[in-house]
Amino acid sequence: MRFPRLSANAWVCIVVFLALVATTAEQLFRTEPPQATPAVAEQPKEDPNFAGPFKIGQEAPDFTLKTADGKSMSLHQFRGKRVLLNFFCGCSFCRGVAMAWNGLLTEKGILPTRTLVVASFKTDYDKQFRIESGYNGPIVYDTEKRDVATKYDSRICPRVWVLDETGRILYTNPSPAQLPPGPHTELAVRPFLMRNPPPPGGIHAGAPGRRAGSG
């Protein structure tokens, strides 16, 4: 087969044209069709009358655990003040929540409040956790099987419970598996620690969780 005699410029033009055609075809072949945007999963609806396995307004089950130095401490020892009961594993989220309480509890207009941490981390981390979070309240250590965290449905942390002066449950945040903690956690807890809390629809409007008196 004989190719027609063409000038050098003509052959250059043909080669460039074929290269462009090949490149365009490859791009079309490699281009994937646009992916459909996945539908956003509907957030689970929470029953405002319940707090995990307990009812809002129910007395929080008592427990006795030990501190890092082996002293026994019970939940009922904190009666007479508001209580922030925290279940922590020592992760960055837990440290962030602990740091939030450091600031909140020093504000004016906050009721006398005690904090208590039920920890699932090792006692060896006690001092380091306090350094990293600035937390200086009591820490007690759950059993090896995490019996207390299991009873409170708080194995996924951080989980926060607000108790009144008689030990009754006022609030708990949603499971972090549904809603990771953040500024909204402090926003939701704050009204339960204020001497003069805002009316419904005020500062804590839209803050997720379970509250006493919610309809």
Helix (H, G, I), strand (E, B) or coil at 119: strand
pLDDT at position 128 is: 96
Contacts of 137 by beta carbon, 8 Å cutoff, 6+ apart: 114, 115, 116, 117
Specify the pLDDT at position 13.
55
> What per-residue confidence (pLDDT) applies to 117?
98
Both tokens of 163, joined, read 């108790």
Q: What pLDDT shows up at residue 44? A: 39
CB-based contacts of 52: which residues, under 8 Å, 6+ apart? Answer: 152, 153, 154, 172
50-211 belongs to CATH 3.40.50.970: no
Going by their DSSP bridges, the two strands 64-66 and 72-74 should be labelled as antiparallel
How many Cβ atoms sit within 10 Å of the Cβ of residue 109? 10
* Strands of 159-163's sheet in order across: 72-74, 64-66, 139-141, 113-119, 82-88, 159-163, 169-172, 210-211
**What residue spans define the domains of the chain?**
50-211
Mean pLDDT split into 10-residue runs, the chain, 215 residues: 56 52 41 39 44 83 97 97 96 94 92 96 96 96 96 93 96 85 88 82 44 41
Q: For residue 48, report the phi and psi dihedrals to the nearest 5 degrees.
A: -70, -10
Q: Which pair of structure tokens corresponds to residue 47?
A: 């029953």
List Cα–Cα distances, 84 to 39, 62, 160, 201, in angstroms: 37, 14, 7, 23
Answer whether 0.75 is exceeded by the pTM. Answer: no
Token code pair at residue 154: 């708080």
Cis peptide before 158 (omega within 30 of 0): yes
